[in-house]
């Protein structure tokens, strides 16, 4: 099964979702991409995942263009805020889903508050992608 996770910058939320989904089942083909890929990972997202034992530091921030010619079982957008537009995927895909999250990289305030936002969003991503995996993916395997 092939799953592509999309957001705008492909540096934070999509990377965490990618890490979780791959950890639930290493047999899945999971990729992530962005419509305006930043080319680098958000280091606080990497640290938040490392804190719970998942290493995403080897991931790359890729443009969605890289995956347009592939076929996907699922394409999932993870953009969240009302000011943020979700990317559209024009490639071949069986199921399109939206599972939205706030972008912790836009949090402002103290270092402690910003870190707490990364942890909150990380935990939300884990919970919602576990639900997706157990309810949508696992029954098809």
Domain boundaries, the chain: 2-134
Q: Average model confidence (pLDDT) for the chain?
A: 93
Q: What is the pLDDT of residue 14?
A: 96
Task: Please give the model's pTM, rounded to 2 decimal places.
Answer: 0.94
Residues 54 and 19: beta-carbon distance below 8 Å: yes
For the cut 90, the answer to whether the pLDDT of residue 32 exceeds it is yes
The residues near 123 (Cβ < 8 Å, ≥ 6 apart) are: none
Residues identified as active-site: 7, 79, 86
CA separation for the pair 22, 126 (Å, rounded)? 11
- The per-residue pLDDT for range 121-137, each reduced to its tens digit, is 999 999 999 999 999 99
Q: What is the pLDDT of residue 86?
A: 67
CA separation for the pair 99, 76 (Å, rounded)? 7
Pick the CATH number of 2-134 from 3.40.50.2300, 3.30.565.10, 3.40.1360.10, 3.40.50.10540: 3.40.50.2300
- At 21, the pLDDT band (50, 70, 90 cuts) reads very high
Listing DSSP states for 58-106 in one string gives T----BGGGGTTSEEEEEEE---STT-PPPP--SEEEEEEE-----GGG
- The per-residue pLDDT for range 81-121, each reduced to its tens digit, is 545 566 678 789 999 999 999 999 999 999 999 999 999 99
């Amino acid at each position: 099964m092939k799953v592509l996770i999309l957001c705008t910058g492909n540096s934070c939320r999509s990377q965490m979702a990618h890490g979780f989904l791959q950890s639930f089942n290493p047999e899945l083909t999971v990729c992530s991409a962005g419509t305006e890929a930043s080319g680098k990972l958000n280091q606080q997202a990497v640290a938040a995942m490392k804190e719970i034992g998942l290493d995403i530091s080897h991931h790359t921030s890729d443009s969605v263009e890289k995956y347009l010619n592939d076929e996907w079982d699922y394409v999932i957008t993870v953009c969240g805020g009302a000011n943020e537009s979700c990317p559209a995927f024009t490639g071949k895909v069986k199921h399109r889903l939206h599972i939205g999250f706030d972008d912790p990289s836009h949090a402002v305030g103290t270092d402690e508050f910003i870190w707490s936002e990364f942890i909150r969003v990380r935990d939300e991503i884990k919970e919602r992608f576990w639900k997706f995996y157990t309810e949508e993916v696992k029954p098809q395997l």
